[in-house]
Structure 1
């Protein structure tokens, strides 16, 4: 449902991925029964229900999320007599969603709007002379309502919300979806069991598993290297390495401290830690399918799922459960986060903030918009949202029990942390400035670790001079 996912901090961003990639709606949704299941109290006593009003919701096009929102809107209308909810949508391709967003904001016609979470990377300090863009610009210019004191926000992890859409003392949205992207690994449970391999908990255990599989004639890892999906390995190792020994609540500080150090030339891509991360990355990527550079992301999940006796591991984000299950419904599917270090305690889940509901200050029906967000946030409704989208829950009390492959994630989310962000990079800078070009680094490419890191370091220094 989104454009492609940008990479975690430190490495060149992986190609964009559709956000809110869906898992097929459960049968009740497909047959229209979701309406009955969504919590709605008959005879709702809304302050807005005494007159005929139209509440407008803007959301980018994605089948599962859109269908859920339509059903939710119907249930909301039932609870609020006299209210009609209008859903405006457009695909993210070719700038259509950006155009619709601009049109709705300019006309002051939208009440609740989906946005990409800006994260703290969007708010560089004044000494950089970098101006916020995208949703961060809406926040910084006062065009979005601060939601931190709304009662429904108590259902969410406020530290995660601040990391996703916090600015100064406010929280300017409800981050409703998160995904695991950097270091995400899908696996075939039956194939691992056949070879006596358990889900690894350290990097060495993962490497040992790959070596064992290769010795048995099985190609360990499948990935769409044509579009840089192997980069998630580098990013996953980097996140866990830099966050080692730090509480999850420190992720924003770790990102901002690193960004400041890069900007002020106290740190660089050639620092020893990035060389070590790159060398660990190379150890993993040597087990990639030899033809990975010719594999496209659009087809990779289906191709991988259709071969149950080979490629135990797939490097791909947690959003692609739907595509995998559709390609092979019989596949006993599992998911875990690549253990990027040999320190078990450091190998935690890093999640990427995604779809965030915001309320423009120009919303025609601001109070009703708050009621819609409260309705969306009710645990019974939010749980159905998770099932329809495959998102990681942003409500601590609500688990992703509707999806079997979520079992590992559900048991490892207590100490997870928001993905580290990339050091501030001025507009117009070379793409090398944002991190190493892993398509050129061996073994996928032909260049050495030192060559790639040195080019990134030079590009960054040139960008900030």
Structure 2
């Protein structure tokens, strides 16, 4: 579902302003099957070919069940600001009924005492522009913990988190290459490094990565997630995120703490095994290049959303997915899952009742499974899995070990990029900064941004 991810895998919400989107418009009272009225329901979703096609199929089901209703699917790529432009246009014109947004999560709702303002879809929610869906019957189909985390605010739930993906620690692998060299999917950090060394000694380049777009951050970000959650239960992830944010804001924790040094050191160790020209590899083309080279690059750093892209590039390739283990205790090497595409309904939606009906249709298990199979998302509905995708076998087998990915500390608007963590393009091996200097620089940038230094 994603077009790209920054260095720390923090796919932020679109920069939508709440201004100019005052509550208004008329709800569609009496729309639905059998109403006889000709209506157009507008659904907006960013461009992902597989997801768009799946949504079109669900739209066709909806239209059949609602005579006289046409679903108009608006879409634009996330690249070059196209999706933001389309979204702002639809919001300004009040011409959208169901709008896809990235899950805001608690990180987008900083406490009032920080002085920070909500951004993206969170700003729309706090301004009263998005409908609370917590009382809708279709919400019972979804994992309540994830829905509250992904789109919850002040006791309400302001969207349906339909997709979740793994970015932190995400690794694809070629099954035939692992079998040929007697390598099993590693369950500990030591096993992972040993596998990398074994392939390198055999004359293979162990890891392919789109270094041009910062996907090497998958390793560092994954290590940070697992180290922060070490000894915690999956249910503790929200509390861990919240406490980290408070500690950073108070200045008692920062990017140069021992935990981040351990993660950065493991990152630099793994980076010894990447494609030498990785800094010139773009995310847009990386899945296809990796898939085409079936006799090299046993591992590929890329989010779980790219399974269909890999398959289309090389239909004969046997490949799988796992999350890089960052510790030597297999029990601590769990899966950070990030809430992603979230369907929202503006309070002023022209066809609000129809929008609820559409979400009800989308949420039916058979329709939601259709969408999962097309997108490669992990399921947000308990009991519904994407069983037809062979690369989901590891994820389905380890689904009980996942936790909601930790969000970053609160970062003031206008803060330098390093305030969000070390700039991996400047840190060795992509840059000249040492691990210590990069972490110190990040800590200083954060502290300055919150007025602690």
Look up the SS of the partner of 1:443 in the other structure: coil
- What's the CA shift for 1:294? 2.3
Q: 1:210-225 alignment to 2 at 5 Å?
A: 210-225=196-211
Q: Indicate if the aligned counterparts of 1:269 and 1:454 stay in contact, CA closer than 8 A.
A: yes
Kindly indicate whether residue 428 of structure 2 is the aligned counterpart of residue 437 of structure 1.
no
Look up the SS of the partner of 2:378 in the other structure: coil
Counterpart Cα distance in 1 of 2:49 and 2:260: 40
Q: Deviations over 1:313-371 (max 9, x none)?
A: 01111111122222221111111000111111111111121111011110122222111
Q: Indicate if the aligned counterparts of 2:9 and 2:168 stay in contact, CA closer than 8 A.
A: no
Counterpart Cα distance in 2 of 1:196 and 1:390: 28
Match of 1:242 among 215, 225, 228: 228
Match of 2:87 among 98, 101, 110: 101
Q: Indicate if the aligned counterparts of 2:54 and 2:371 stay in contact, CA closer than 8 A.
A: yes
Q: Deviations over 1:202-237 (max 9, x none)?
A: 111101111122222222111111221111101001
- What residue is the counterpart of 2:5 in the other structure? 5
Normalization by structure 1: what TM-score? Answer: 0.89
- What residue is the counterpart of 2:25 in the other structure? none
Match of 1:110 among 75, 78, 96: 96
Distance change >3 Å, CA 115–CA 213, structure 1 → 2:
same
- What residue is the counterpart of 1:186 in the other structure? 172
Q: 1:1-400 alignment to 2 at 5 Å?
A: 1-6=1-6, 12-13=8-9, 46=32, 49-400=35-386
Distance change >3 Å, CA 316–CA 3, structure 1 → 2:
closer
- What's the CA shift for 1:84? 2.3
Q: Deviations over 1:11-45 (max 9, x none)?
A: x4478999xxxxxxxxxxxxxxxxxxxxxxxxxx9
Distance change >3 Å, CA 292–CA 2, structure 1 → 2:
closer
- What's the CA shift for 1:268? 1.1
Distance change >3 Å, CA 118–CA 16, structure 1 → 2:
closer
Counterpart Cα distance in 2 of 1:177 and 1:6: 19
Cα RMSD (Å): 2.0
Distance change >3 Å, CA 225–CA 98, structure 1 → 2:
closer
- What residue is the counterpart of 1:22 in the other structure? none
Gaps of 5+ in 1: 19-44
- What's the CA shift for 1:50? 4.0
- What's the CA shift for 1:82? 2.6
Distance change >3 Å, CA 100–CA 227, structure 1 → 2:
closer
Kindly indicate whether residue 432 of structure 2 is the aligned counterpart of residue 446 of structure 1.
yes
Q: Indicate if the aligned counterparts of 1:4 and 1:17 stay in contact, CA closer than 8 A.
A: no
Match of 2:391 among 405, 408, 421: 405
Q: Indicate if the aligned counterparts of 1:15 and 1:228 stay in contact, CA closer than 8 A.
A: no
Distance change >3 Å, CA 15–CA 156, structure 1 → 2:
closer
- What's the CA shift for 1:109? 2.5
Counterpart Cα distance in 1 of 2:150 and 2:258: 30
Runs of 4 or more, structure 1, over 3 Å off, are 12-18, 45-48
Counterpart Cα distance in 2 of 1:118 and 1:222: 31
- What's the CA shift for 1:198? 0.4
- What's the CA shift for 1:52? 2.8
Q: Indicate if the aligned counterparts of 1:15 and 1:227 stay in contact, CA closer than 8 A.
A: no
Gaps of 5+ in 2: 15-30
Q: Indicate if the aligned counterparts of 1:6 and 1:15 stay in contact, CA closer than 8 A.
A: yes
